[in-house]
Amino acid sequence: MDAWSRRKFFLTTLAGSLAAGARNLLGGQAPAAQAAPQGTRPLIISSANGLNALTLGMGLLKRGLDTLEAVVSTVNVVEDDPNDNSVGYGGLPNEDGDVELDASVMHGPTRRAGSVGSIRHIKNPSKIAKLVMERTDHLMLVGPGALRFAEAHGFERINLLTEDSRRRWLAWKETMSDRDSWGPGLSDPEWKEKITGLLPSHWSEEQKAAELAYIRELILHPPTGTINCCAVNEKGDISGTTTTSGLAWKLAGRVGDSPIIGAGLFVDNEVGAAGSTGRGEENIKICGAHTIVEMMRKGMSPTDACLEACKRVAWSYNNDKARLRKFNISFYALNKSGFHGGGVLWGTPSRSGRRPSYAVHDGVEAKLVPLAPYFETAAS
């Protein structure tokens, strides 16, 4: 499950467990989302966390703005959101407590691309990736060089670590080992209750319990999370972007698939676009987004092409489900004619019964559409 949804699903799960229980008693799944009409332009799609921002992107496409403007403006909404802990401001940090962001953009009509890796202190890495494309003769800038480049273009250096993310990182740090000096010392009456003392004392017991449970989940399953967004306009021009804070608690300097052109994102204006969220290490090995676009070039539907990428990920582990079960990865694609689709390695529903999905705005409304699962459920 992506990190954005991890928090929201988690809270939804707590709040909605009764409703979910009732559905299960009745033997039913959560109601399936309606399939979006296919073959319409303009069209904009994203990972599920982009749902609420797609209306903005569609509005820009309808007003005739460039497709890259539309997708970057769309993901900026999610990058700016402190409550989305998988992207931009509020993203969960690396093991040192530093938020390091990755992003890429690709502009179909001019066949150009730009990206940044491990950039710190800049809220909207997708904007910097676009600037790398527009204002340099390079394609990718990383680390301190990327930050200096952003500052040279007037971007403000800010602290990306929100209070929530800092507390959760400290909780992870204190729980990592009982052989280091992080956390309450032996002489502290609360020395065994490592996380509790980090919670604001003015919170209600209910708030504390929910946060404790959420933090424990983050520690057990360090989340990944990203937003990928691709669009095709009325005349068939295509662009895409992928932006992320990557894997929580990662090693400093770890770069995932999001800024890697051909892995986290690929666009060919004659064919279509694809992107990915989930465990980037697996995607880089199979050049997922490029593979999907090449499969669509050969005539595959976006969904089948995404499932082909899942198949290659599974093949990396000889289809060994015991290992594959340890992670998940999703792919999203659209083609030049305005058809879209997506695939996910594991279709395991969330605890509230929701199946993995992606977001689509087909010009009429923004909605979630189920991803086609490669394996039905990781539970068996």
| Binding residues for ligand ASP (CB under 6 A) | 2, 224-226, 244, 246-247, 256-258, 277-280
Which residue number, 195 or 219, has a Cβ lying nearer to ligand ASP? 219
Distance separating alpha carbons of residues 230 and 273, to the nearest angstrom:
6
| Sequence-ordered list of residues with C-beta below 8 angstroms from that of 154, at least 6 positions apart, any chain | none
State how far the Cα of 54 lies from the Cα of 227, in Å rounded to an integer: 12
Q: Min. distance of Cβ 78 from ligand ASP in angstroms? A: 12
Residue identified by tokens 């052989």 is 179
Closest CB 346 distance from ligand ASP, rounded Å: 14
**Cβ distance to ligand ASP smaller for residue 143 or 236:** 143
Indicate the residue among 198 and 219 with the shorter CB distance to ligand ASP.
219
Contacts of 144 (CB under 8 A, 6+ apart): none
Distance CA 341, CA 351 (A): 24
Positions marked active-site: 226
Report, in Å, the least distance between residue 225 CB and ligand ASP. 4
| Length of the chain measured in residues | 380
Say how far apart CA 269 and CA 263 lie, in whole Å: 17
For ligand ASP, the closer CB: 1 or 305:
1
Rounded least distance, CB 227 to ligand ASP, Å: 8
Q: Are 1 and 223 in contact (CB under 8 A)?
A: yes
**To 5 degrees, how large is the angle CA 6–CA 27–CA 37?**
65
The two structure tokens encoding residue 151 = 């500052």
Q: Work out the end-to-end distance of the chain between its first and last CA atoms, rounded to an integer number of angstroms.
A: 17
CB of 5 vs ligand ASP, minimal distance in Å = 10
Q: Which is nearer to ligand ASP, 278 or 341 (CB)?
A: 278
Radius of gyration of the chain (CA): 20
76 versus 242: smaller Cβ distance to ligand ASP: 242
Give the shortest CB-209-to-ligand ASP separation in angstroms: 27
CA proximity to 325, closest of 353, 347, 356, 357:
347
Token pair for 284: 């880089």
Amino acid at 157: R
